[in-house]
């Protein structure tokens, strides 16, 4: 049998989905499973969006233009404007989710083993996107003790090499829920200008900022406009992961032109889906603000629930709809499997995402898990009680109350 490509070997199995077979077996045994492992919003897609789909007067589903339908790009432009961000329709390319946008953009700005800086823990698919683009992800490791903030510009500067082409910034962050501070964003801006780098801004959770926190798009650094490439998506903010609509936007004409060639090679993005999201893009700010309030309540339930678990110092996430936390457990991967295979609490168990898969650096995150807030407050509260009971029972629990650091 012929062997597969070296690139194939670099694509990792999704750490978020790999426990799925065990979860299915638990359900088959009659155990209820609360899925804390996946960022698939539980709330309904807005009825306006579904109504728009049903009402579309389409009698011929031809290829859409590769850059996206004008109606769709105009709607994205209006959406950005509603958050004070200035991109005209001709500075926007519609993509199949943010995933396609990131994959294309990485290939446009880097390749041939070039380096892109990323804060870890990071969105796990970045590693697969980078492998496809032949890009090396260089991690700047953040620690739970610091709330996954980095604060110091030197940490960033120290990772730049002659091969560095860009910084990939996810703000608010999946998986940590960190919202970067003004000074951290300035540090990113400073290093990008000093070293002539692009900044790829993954802002798919932009408006999910809790409490009195400000929604701070990196696009505010208008003096860096030519370096900034924003990737965005309707998936999370409109509970519409399945429509697969996102975009990239930039003021950099060369980046736009070359990304368009990638878009042309894949021909187009689905016509009906581009159109069905138009009303929400034009008028969806209040909707996503309501979602944010709901996620904040869930964050509180998780934070409070983690706080009573012996040996856990919970991390209070500031945005998105995730938190990472360290558990007093040697291997969270084994623990997550045990939860599904061997543990039941009042007829239920939980499915966690082990932390290791969110790190670029091998060996980090083995005692951490990511928790997604994809159930209502009572269910999230119950899930934390199940976690508490499980940590107390687990044979692999660390003896010392304070969990060891993975650093
Ligand atoms: C940080 C981040 N970026 C990008 C994506 C991909 O989003 P999309 O569904 O638009 O492809 C996700 C999905 O979970 C994400 O969490």
pLDDT in tens, 239-264: 999 999 999 999 999 999 999 999 99
Distances (CA, A) of 184 to 141, 195, 223, 321, 395: 14, 17, 17, 21, 41
Q: Is 203 in the pocket of ligand 1 (CB under 6 A)?
A: no
Share of the chain above pLDDT 70, in %: 98
Note the pLDDT tens digit of each residue in 346-369: 999 999 999 999 999 999 999 999
Per-residue DSSP letter, 139: E
187-192: list long-range contacts, CB under 8 Å, 24+ apart.
187/150, 187/152, 187/153, 187/156, 188/156, 188/218, 189/218, 189/221, 189/224, 190/153, 191/153, 191/156, 191/157, 191/160, 191/167, 192/167, 192/224, 192/227
What's the pLDDT score for residue 213?
Answer: 80
With a CB cutoff of 8 Å and minimum separation 6, the contacts of 230 are 85, 87, 201, 203, 217, 218, 219, 248, 249, 250
Which atom of ligand 1 is least distant from the CA of 98? 10
Half-sphere CA count of 31, side-chain side, radius 13 A = 22
Phi/psi at 316 (5° precision): -90, 105
* Burial (Cβ within 10 Å: 0-12, 13-18, ≥19) of residue 4: exposed
Ligand 1: distance of its center to the CA of 233 in Å? 7
User: For a substitution probing ligand 1, which of 232, 235, 244, 320 has the most ligand atoms within 8 Å of its CB?
Assistant: 235
Ligand 1: distance of its center to the CA of 99 in Å? 6
Q: Is 269 in the pocket of ligand 1 (CB under 6 A)?
A: no
Examine the pLDDT at 234 and tell me if it is beyond 90: yes
What's the pLDDT score for residue 365?
Answer: 96
Higher pLDDT, 60 or 229: 229
User: For a substitution probing ligand 1, which of 174, 180, 240 has the most ligand atoms within 8 Å of its CB?
Assistant: 174
Per-residue DSSP letter, 65: P
Q: What is the pTM of this model?
A: 0.95
Q: Is 176 in the pocket of ligand 1 (CB under 6 A)?
A: no
What's the pLDDT score for residue 15?
Answer: 67
Ligand 1: distance of its center to the CA of 243 in Å? 13
Angle at 298 between CA 292 and CA 301, to 5 degrees: 150
Distance CA 344, CA 364 (A): 28
User: For a substitution probing ligand 1, which of 41, 97, 204, 321 has the most ligand atoms within 8 Å of its CB?
Assistant: 204
What's the pLDDT score for residue 401?
Answer: 47
Distance CA 274, CA 286 (A): 21
Q: Is 178 in the pocket of ligand 1 (CB under 6 A)?
A: no
Which atom of ligand 1 is least distant from the CA of 232? 10
Share of the chain above pLDDT 90, in %: 89
Q: Is 202 in the pocket of ligand 1 (CB under 6 A)?
A: yes
Distance CA 293, CA 243 (A): 24
Examine the pLDDT at 400 and tell me if it is beyond 60: no
Q: Is 305 in the pocket of ligand 1 (CB under 6 A)?
A: no
Q: Is 327 in the pocket of ligand 1 (CB under 6 A)?
A: no
Examine the pLDDT at 23 and tell me if it is beyond 90: yes
Query: Are β-strands 115-120 and 136-141 bridged in parallel, bridged antiparallel, or unpaired?
Result: parallel
Q: Is 98 in the pocket of ligand 1 (CB under 6 A)?
A: yes
């Amino acid at each position: 049998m012929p062997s597969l490509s070296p690139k194939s070997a670099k694509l990792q199995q999704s750490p978020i989905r790999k426990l799925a077979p065990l979860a299915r077996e638990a359900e088959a045994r009659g155990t209820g499973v609360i899925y804390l492992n996946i960022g698939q919003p539980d709330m309904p897609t807005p009825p306006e969006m579904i109504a728009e789909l049903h009402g579309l007067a389409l009698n011929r589903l031809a290829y859409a233009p590769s850059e996206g339908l004008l109606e769709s790009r105009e709607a994205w432009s209006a959406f950005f404007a509603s958050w004070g961000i200035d991109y005209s329709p001709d500075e926007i390319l519609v993509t199949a989710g943010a995933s396609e946008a990131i994959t294309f953009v990485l290939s446009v700005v880097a390749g041939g083993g070039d380096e892109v800086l990323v804060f870890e823990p990071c969105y796990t698919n970045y590693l697969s996107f980078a492998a496809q683009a032949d890009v090396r992800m260089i991690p700047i490791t953040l620690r739970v003790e610091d709330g996954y903030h980095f604060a110091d510009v030197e940490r960033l500067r120290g990772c730049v090499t002659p091969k560095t082409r860009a910084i990939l910034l996810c703000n608010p962050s999946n998986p940590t829920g960190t919202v970067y501070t003004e000074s951290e964003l300035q540090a990113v801006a400073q290093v990008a200008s000093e070293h002539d780098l692009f900044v790829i801004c993954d802002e798919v959770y932009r408006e999910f900022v809790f409490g009195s926190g400000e929604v701070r798009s990196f696009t505010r650094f208008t003096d860096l406009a030519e370096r900034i490439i924003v990737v965005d998506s309707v998936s999370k903010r409109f509970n519409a992961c399945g429509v697969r609509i996102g975009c990239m936007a930039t003021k950099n004409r060369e980046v736009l032109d070359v990304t368009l060639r990638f878009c042309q090679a894949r021909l187009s993005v689905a016509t009906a889906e581009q159109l069905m999201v138009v009303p929400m893009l034009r008028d969806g700010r209040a909707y996503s603000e309501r979602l944010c309030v709901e996620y904040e309540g869930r964050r509180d339930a998780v934070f409070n629930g983690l706080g009573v678990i012996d040996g856990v110092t919970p991390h209070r996430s500031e945005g998105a709809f995730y938190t990472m936390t360290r558990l007093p457990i040697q291997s969270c991967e084994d623990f997550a499997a045990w939860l599904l295979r061997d543990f039941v609490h009042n007829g239920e168990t939980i499915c966690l995402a082990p932390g290791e898969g969110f790190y670029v650096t091998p060996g980090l995150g083995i005692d951490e898990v990511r928790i997604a807030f994809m159930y209502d407050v009572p269910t999230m509260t119950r899930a934390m009680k199940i976690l508490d009971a499980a940590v107390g029972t687990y044979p692999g629990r660390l003896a010392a109350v304070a969990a060891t650091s993975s650093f």
